[in-house]
């Protein structure tokens, strides 16, 4: 490092002392109580600068958010030039910098990155940042800025944005002036791109009944209001609730996508009437779930699995109608990527009814996104409502060069090109995904009830078991089986086969000494029984700690 840069980094770091805390960077980046993040933010500013320099000056994005966590938490994650999550190999560097306990350790960690990545520190670099509505965000961005400027890097603060908007802007900045230009790198450009695409897909249709949107009292409320001002109400009617971004204590509190998914009920205080259509965003608007209540008032959830099957089925149908082919005449590859947490009924429906291949990956959006890139059209959604659809360059090319021979083919090709614009391909996006679902239902003239009837979810249950050492549990085969402890998987298989449509897997938490047990079967009673048997085996034979839950079944 140059002496001037070294002095600047060390001098700046002294203003952001590191607390006695072990930091870990995962899929969500760094995420914890906001009071612990000041030093991390400064060092992430240094890291983002290094990443930009490593990539020859490409702009790196930084998002300050804790997503669906409560308001007192915050977090930070880095965004790659095309809107992807940080390259996994750099997660270790993030932790090395965050956990450096002295000036000397910090400098040595920076030097190690520079040496291993062959970084030219004289390379101009650029970092952009945005934040959600959490009150701690302003000060944390200021800390980040100091780290960026200490490295001599250009810094741009976009202020308040949803997480998907920051991903979108980052990609736009890095593709501007190329054949892959993604759009105008502003929120205005984002809204206009989505609005034009949605209008094209909605033209000629009467809007569906009002969509009631629970915005989790987060940044999504602000974004949706701004978008509707651009779109107008001729094609879409929305009613925004839980939109109080001024009262930070309300953020994600008994509301939002995570609350609805986990509790299988509407956000607190919302009165649902049969026939109404509802959806919920999370705090930073990167995930969404839909729901309604049927004629007898029963709550019905349309989660990420339902969104994925709707999208995969409709896009596959369009490709078949359009007869879209690669230039060499070969078929486009369409695939759905799921995790072990996807409901078994959804997997069977996609494979057997839609005839779309399904691939499983370990839990975590980064794994899903990477696997989806292997298809010409790759659909992925976690059950929690986080996901998107990826169109490869070859797919876009096929939509453009295929010569439609009939009106139906020409229309389908145009719709495929438009869906590629409507869907935010950088990351899961509540607003974009909402519009995608609305456009599909509009074109199918389909209600939530009709969408829901495509398949019926198997009853499922997730249970936590406290254990002495979670590292003893080693998952394999996309988290669906265990390599160790020895003999545990055989016992799980032995008991699971006794239940109709039974499925069960055990996987360790990434952050605490618990393991999660997922079970599903044909009836709620069978699901509960299977769960209690496997939880009992884990607790009794593999290091369960604390008070033993009475419901856990003894099998020995």
SS3 of residue 58 by DSSP: coil
Return the pLDDT at 33.
96
Q: Is residue 294 over pLDDT 90?
A: yes
Q: Is 516 annotated as a binding residue?
A: yes
d(Cα 167, Cα 161) in Å, to the nearest integer?
A: 10
Q: Which residues pair with 548 in a beta bridge?
A: none
The tokens of 201 are what?
């897909």
**Cα–Cα distances in angstroms (integers) from residue 63 to residues 43, 48, 331, 542, in the given order:** 14, 11, 38, 39
Catalytic residue among 67, 248, 267, 519: 67
Say what the pLDDT of residue 402 is.
87
Buried b (16+ CB within 10 A) or exposed e, 515-534: bbbbbbbeeeebbbbbbbbb
432 labeled part of a ligand binding site: no
pLDDT for 1:
61
Q: Is 532 marked as a binding-site residue?
A: no
Task: State how far the Cα of 44 lies from the Cα of 25, in Å rounded to an integer.
Answer: 11
Q: CA-CA distance, 339 to 358, in Å (whole number)?
A: 10
Residue 383, annotated ligand binder? yes
536 labeled binding residue: no
d(CA 520, CA 505): 10
* Mean pLDDT computed over 290-298: 95
Q: Helix crossing, 103-117 with 3-14: angle to 10°?
A: 140
Cα distance between residue 309 and residue 311, in whole Å: 5
| 25-34 per-position pLDDT tens digit | 987 899 999 9
Question: Tell me, what's the pLDDT at 522?
Answer: 97
Q: Was 507 annotated as part of a binding site? A: yes
* Domain spanning 3-160: CATH superfamily: Alpha-D-Glucose-1,6-Bisphosphate, subunit A, domain 3 (3.40.120.10)
In the prediction, which pLDDT does 404 show? 86
CATH number assigned to the domain covering 304-430: 3.40.120
Q: Under DSSP, is residue 517 helix (H, G, I), strand (E, B) or coil?
A: strand
pLDDT in tens, 7-16: 899 899 999 9
Tokens of 119: 């970084």
Host H or E run for residue 508: strand 503-508
Q: Give the C-alpha separation, 435 to 15, whole Å.
A: 45
Q: Above 70 in pLDDT, residue 556? A: no
Q: Is the pLDDT at 277 greater than 90, yes or no?
A: yes
382 is in an annotated binding site: yes
- Categorize the per-residue pLDDT at 287 as very low, low, confident or very high, splitting at 50, 70 and 90: very high
Q: Are 70 and 253 in contact (CB under 8 A)?
A: yes
**CATH number for the domain formed by residue range(s) 460-541:** 3.30.310.50
Q: How far apart are CA 28 and CA 26, in angstroms?
A: 5
Judge whether 96 is annotated as a binding position. Answer: no
Asked if domains 188-300 and 460-541 share a fold, the reply is no
The 10 Å CB-count burial string (b at 16+, else e) for 292-312 is bbeeeeeebbbbbbbbbbbbb
Burial class (CB in 10 A: 0-12, 13-18, 19+), 195: buried
Helices (H), 446-548: 448-452, 488-496, 524-541
Q: Give the pLDDT score at 3.
A: 75
Give SS3 for 78: strand
Annotation says 67 is catalytic: yes
- The CATH superfamily assigned to 188-300 is Alpha-D-Glucose-1,6-Bisphosphate, subunit A, domain 3 (3.40.120.10)
Encode pLDDT of 460-512 as tens digits.
999 999 999 999 999 999 999 999 999 999 999 999 999 999 999 999 987 78
Is 67 a known ligand-binding residue?
A: yes
Question: 311 pLDDT band (50/70/90 cuts)?
Answer: very high
How is the chain split into domains, by residue range? Answer: 3-160, 188-300, 304-430, 460-541
Give the span between the Cα atoms of 469 and 108, in whole angstroms: 32
- Number of neighbours of residue 182 by Cβ within 10 angstroms: 23
**513 phi/psi in degrees, rounded to 5:** -80, 70
Closest CA to 211 of 294, 290, 301: 290
Tokens of 372: 């989806």
509 is in an annotated binding site: yes
Q: Is 282 annotated as a binding residue?
A: yes
Look at residue 301 in the predicted model and tell me its pLDDT: 97
The 3-state DSSP class for residue 344 equals helix
Reference 52, options 136, 134, 133, 147; nearest CA is 147
> What digits encode the pLDDT tens for the residues 321-330?
999 999 888 9
Return all residues near 429 (Cβ < 8 A) that are at least 6 apart: 162, 164, 167, 168, 285, 286, 388
Q: Three-state secondary structure along 109-178?
A: HHHHHHHHHCCCCCCCCEEEEEECCCCCHHHHHHHHHHHHHHCCCEEEEEEECCHHHHHHHHHHHHHCCC
| Averaged pLDDT of the chain | 95
Question: What value does the mean pLDDT take over residues 252-262?
Answer: 94
DSSP tally for the chain: helices H, then strands E: 18, 19
Q: Is 108 annotated as a binding residue?
A: no
CA distance 404 to 289: 35
Band of the pLDDT at 262, cuts 50, 70, 90? Answer: confident
In sign, the C-alpha dihedral spanning 256, 158, 155, 174 is: positive
Residue 515 bridge partners (DSSP)? 465, 508
Please determine, for residue 229, whether its predicted confidence score (pLDDT) is greater than 80.
Answer: yes
3-state SS class at 342 = coil
Whether residue 241 is predicted with pLDDT greater than 70 in this model: the reply is yes
- Judge contact between 481 and 332, C-beta under 8 A: no
- Report d(CA 203, CA 319) in Å as an integer: 20
311 in helix, strand or coil? helix
Residue 259: pLDDT above 80? yes
Say how far apart CA 451 and CA 426 lie, in whole Å.
26
Cα dihedral 308, 313, 318, 323 in deg (nearest 10): 120
Q: What crossing angle do the helices spanning 3-14 and 38-54 adopt, rounded to 10°? A: 160
Q: pLDDT per residue over 144-189, tens digit each?
A: 999 999 999 999 999 999 999 999 999 999 999 999 999 999 999 9
Total-model pTM: 0.94
pLDDT at 512: 82
- Tell me what pLDDT residue 28 has: 86
């Amino acid at each position: 490092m140059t002496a001037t840069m070294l002095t600047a980094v060390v001098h700046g770091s002294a203003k952001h002392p590191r607390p006695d805390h072990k930091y870990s960077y995962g899929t969500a980046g760094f995420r914890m109580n906001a009071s612990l993040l000041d030093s991390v933010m400064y060092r992430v500013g240094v890291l983002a600068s290094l990443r930009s320099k490593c990539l020859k000056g490409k702009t790196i994005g930084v998002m300050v958010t804790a997503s669906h966590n409560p308001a007192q938490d915050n977090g930070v994650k880095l965004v790659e030039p095309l809107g992807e999550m940080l390259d996994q190999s750099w997660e270790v560097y993030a932790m090395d910098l965050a956990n450096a306990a002295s000036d000397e350790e910090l400098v040595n960690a920076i030097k190690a990155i520079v040496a291993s990545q062959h970084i030219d520190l004289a390379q101009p670099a650029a970092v952009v940042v945005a934040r959600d509505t959490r009150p701690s965000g302003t000060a944390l961005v200021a800390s980040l800025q100091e780290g960026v400027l200490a490295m001599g890097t250009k810094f741009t603060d976009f202020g308040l944005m949803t997480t998907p908007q920051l991903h979108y802007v980052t990609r736009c900045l890095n593709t501007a002036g190329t054949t892959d230009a993604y759009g105008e790198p502003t929120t205005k450009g984002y809204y206009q791109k989505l609005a034009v695409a949605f209008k094209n897909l909605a033209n000629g249709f009467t809007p569906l009944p009002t969509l009631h949107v629970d915005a989790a009292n987060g940044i999504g409320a602000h974004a949706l209001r701004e978008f509707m001002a651009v779109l107008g109400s001729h094609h879409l009617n929305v009613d925004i609730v839980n939109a109080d971004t001024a009262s930070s204590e309300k953020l994600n509190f008994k509301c939002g996508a995570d609350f609805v998914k986990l509790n299988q009920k509407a956000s607190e205080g919302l009165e649902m009437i049969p026939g109404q259509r509802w959806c919920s965003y999370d705090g930073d608007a990167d995930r969404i779930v839909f729901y309604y209540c049927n004629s007898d008032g029963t709550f019905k959830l349309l989660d990420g699995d339902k969104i994925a099957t709707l999208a995969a089925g409709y896009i596959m149908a369009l490709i078949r109608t359009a007869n879209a082919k690669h230039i060499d005449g070969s078929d486009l590859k369409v695939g759905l990527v799921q995790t072990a947490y996807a409901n078994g009924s959804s997997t069977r429906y996609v494979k057997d009814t839609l005839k779309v291949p399904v691939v499983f990956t370990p839990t975590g959006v980064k794994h899903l996104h990477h696997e989806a890139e292997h298809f010409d059209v790759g659909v992925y959604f976690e059950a929690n409502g986080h996901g998107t659809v990826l169109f490869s360059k070859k797919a876009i090319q096929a939509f453009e060069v295929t010569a439609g021979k009939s009106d139906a083919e020409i229309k389908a090709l145009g719709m495929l090109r438009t869906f590629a614009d409507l869907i935010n391909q950088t990351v899961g996006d509540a607003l974009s995904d909402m519009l995608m679902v609305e456009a599909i239902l509009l074109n199918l003239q389909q209600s939530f009830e009709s969408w829901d009837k495509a398949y019926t979810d198997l009853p499922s249950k997730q249970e936590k078991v406290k254990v002495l050492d979670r590292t003893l549990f080693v998952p394999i085969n996309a988290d669906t089986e265990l390599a160790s402890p020895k003999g545990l998987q055989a016992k799980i298989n032995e008991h699971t086969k006794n239940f109709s449509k039974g499925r069960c897997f055990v996987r360790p938490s990434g952050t605490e000494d618990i393991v999660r047990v997922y079970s599903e079967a044909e009836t709620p009673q069978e699901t509960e029984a299977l769960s209690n048997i496997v939880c009992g085996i884990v607790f009794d034979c593999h290091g369960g700690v604390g008070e033993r839950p009475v419901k856990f079944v003894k099998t020995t």
